[in-house]
Structure 1
Amino acid sequence: MKHSFLFAFFFFLTTSLLAQQLPAVGSGVQRPRKLSDEQLLDLVQKQTFRYFWDFGHPVSGMARERSNKSFDYGDEVVTTGGTGFGLMAIIVAAERKWITREQAAERVLKIVNFLWKADMYHGVFPHWMDGATGKTIRFSLKDDGGDIVETSFLYEGLICARQYFTKDTPAESQLRNKILWMWENVEWNWHTQGGQNVLYWHWSPNNGWSMNHQIHGWNECLVTYVLAASSPKYAIEKKVYDQGWATGDYFKNGKKYLGTTLPLGFDYGGPLFFSHYSFLGIDPHGLKDQYADYWQQNQAHTRINYDYCVSNPKKYKGYGKNSWGLTASDSYKGYAAHSPTEDLGVISPTAALSAMPYAPAESMLALKHFYNDLGDKIWGEYGFVDGFSEQHDWYAKSYLAIDQGPIVGMIENHRTGLLWKLFMSSPDVQRGLKNLGFESPHLKK
Structure 2
Amino acid sequence: MQDDLATLQRETFDYFIREANPANGLILDKTEANWPASIAATGLALACYPVGVERRFMTRAAAVERTLTTLRFFWNSPQGVEPDATGYRGFYYHFLDMQTGRRAWQCELSTIDSTLLLAGALAAGQYFDEDTEAEAEIRGLAEALYRRADWRWAQDGGDTVTHGWTPEHGFLKYRWQGYDEALLLYVLGLGSPTHPLPPSSYTAWSATFRWESCYGYEYLYAGPLFIHQLSHVWIDFRGLQDAFMRGKGSDYFENSRRATFVQQRYAVDNPRGFEGYGEHCWGITASEGPGPSTLKLNGIERRFEGYVGRGVPYGPDDGTLAPWAVAASLP
Given the alignment of the two structures, is residue 92 of structure 1 paired with residue 51 of structure 2, yes or no? Answer: yes
Given the alignment of the two structures, is residue 307 of structure 1 paired with residue 265 of structure 2, yes or no? Answer: yes
Of 18, 21, 27 in structure 2, the residue corresponding to residue 54 of structure 1 is: 18
What's the CA shift for 1:123? 0.7
**SS of the residue 2:307 aligns to:** strand
Cα deviation, 1:78-99, whole Å, max 9, x if unaligned, reads 1111111121122111111110
For structure 2, the 5+ residue unaligned runs are 78-85, 246-250, 292-305
Under a length normalisation based on structure 2, what TM-score does the superposition of the two structures give? 0.87
**SS of the residue 2:287 aligns to:** strand
Partner of 1:173: 136
What's the CA shift for 1:354? 0.9
Give, as a single letter, the amino acid of the residue that structure 1 aligns with 2:55: R
Partner of 1:82: 41
Q: Whole-Å Cα distance in 1 between the matches of residues 243 and 207 of structure 2?
A: 13
Given the alignment of the two structures, is residue 235 of structure 1 paired with residue 184 of structure 2, yes or no? Answer: no
Partner of 1:186: 149
Checking the alignment, whether the CA contact within 8 Å between 2:217 and 2:262 is kept in structure 1 is yes
Give, as a single letter, the amino acid of the residue that structure 2 aligns with 1:102: A
Q: Whole-Å Cα distance in 2 between the matches of residues 78 and 97 of structure 1?
A: 26
Given the alignment of the two structures, is residue 197 of structure 1 paired with residue 148 of structure 2, yes or no? Answer: no
Checking the alignment, whether the CA contact within 8 Å between 1:153 and 1:277 is kept in structure 2 is no
Checking the alignment, whether the CA contact within 8 Å between 1:184 and 1:231 is kept in structure 2 is yes
Give, as a single letter, the amino acid of the residue that structure 2 aligns with 1:260: Y
**SS of the residue 1:136 aligns to:** coil
Partner of 1:137: 104
Q: Whole-Å Cα distance in 1 between the matches of residues 264 and 118 of structure 2?
A: 30
Under a length normalisation based on structure 1, what TM-score does the superposition of the two structures give? 0.66
Checking the alignment, whether the CA contact within 8 Å between 1:57 and 1:78 is kept in structure 2 is no
Q: Whole-Å Cα distance in 1 between the matches of residues 30 and 207 of structure 2?
A: 34
Give, as a single letter, the amino acid of the residue that structure 2 aligns with 1:258: Y
Q: Whole-Å Cα distance in 1 between the matches of residues 105 and 129 of structure 2?
A: 35
Larger deviation, residues 45-54 vs 304-313: 304-313
Partner of 1:106: 65
What's the CA shift for 1:38? 2.3
Of 155, 159, 183 in structure 2, the residue corresponding to residue 222 of structure 1 is: 183
Checking the alignment, whether the CA contact within 8 Å between 1:88 and 1:157 is kept in structure 2 is yes
Give, as a single letter, the amino acid of the residue that structure 2 aligns with 1:114: F
Checking the alignment, whether the CA contact within 8 Å between 1:53 and 1:90 is kept in structure 2 is no
Of 186, 191, 210 in structure 2, the residue corresponding to residue 252 of structure 1 is: 210
Partner of 1:276: 229
Partner of 2:326: 352
Higher relative contact order (CA 8 A, sep 6+): 1
Given the alignment of the two structures, is residue 261 of structure 1 paired with residue 218 of structure 2, yes or no? Answer: yes
Q: Whole-Å Cα distance in 2 between the matches of residues 131 and 168 of structure 1?
A: 32
What's the CA shift for 1:170? 2.6
Give, as a single letter, the amino acid of the residue that structure 2 aligns with 1:197: D
After superposition, the CA RMSD in angstroms is 1.5
Checking the alignment, whether the CA contact within 8 Å between 1:117 and 1:134 is kept in structure 2 is no
Given the alignment of the two structures, is residue 41 of structure 1 paired with residue 5 of structure 2, yes or no? Answer: yes
What's the CA shift for 1:150? 0.6
Checking the alignment, whether the CA contact within 8 Å between 1:121 and 1:204 is kept in structure 2 is no
Cα deviation, 1:118-151, whole Å, max 9, x if unaligned, reads 22211111101112212111355xx3xx211111
**SS of the residue 1:125 aligns to:** strand
Checking the alignment, whether the CA contact within 8 Å between 2:118 and 2:145 is kept in structure 1 is no
What's the CA shift for 1:311? 2.0
Checking the alignment, whether the CA contact within 8 Å between 2:22 and 2:66 is kept in structure 1 is no
Q: Whole-Å Cα distance in 1 between the matches of residues 135 and 290 of structure 2?
A: 44
Partner of 1:121: 88
Q: Matched residues, percent identical?
A: 30
Q: Whole-Å Cα distance in 2 between the matches of residues 163 and 52 of structure 1?
A: 20
Checking the alignment, whether the CA contact within 8 Å between 2:311 and 2:317 is kept in structure 1 is yes
Paired residues, number: 302
Q: Whole-Å Cα distance in 1 between the matches of residues 168 and 76 of structure 2?
A: 20
Partner of 1:27: none
What's the CA shift for 1:42? 1.4
Given the alignment of the two structures, is residue 289 of structure 1 paired with residue 242 of structure 2, yes or no? Answer: yes
**SS of the residue 1:321 aligns to:** coil
